[in-house]
Amino acid sequence: MRIIIHDLEERDFQRLFPRPLENTLVIASGAKIHHCLGCFGCWTKTPGACVIRDQYGDGGGLVKANAINMCWNVAGVSFSHGLAELEGRVS
């Protein structure tokens, strides 16, 4: 499985990936993703699964992914707020 994480406008994403993607999970910046609460529920309550219920789910399949592609607009010297929240959940 391949995962594409992006904060691109829909038209820009379609320009990069004009055909439907098989066996690919696309996580866009518009997804409702909450930052990590540091509650350790993923260790104590539900080992290996995040207790926060949002569109990111239990890692979005990151553990099973063969490839993870991140595409973002540069905001200063970093990536956007939405991708920063997602990165906080991943690391």
SS3 string, the chain, reads: CEEEEECCCHHHHHHHCCCCCCCEEEEECCCCCCCCCCCCHHHHCCCCCCCCCCCCCCHHHHHHCCEEEEECCCECCECCHHHHHHHHHHC
Distance CA 74, CA 91 (A): 20
Quote the pLDDT of residue 39.
Answer: 84
pLDDT digits (tens, 9 = 90+) for 23-69: 888 887 766 777 777 888 878 887 777 788 776 665 555 667 788 88
pTM of the model: 0.63
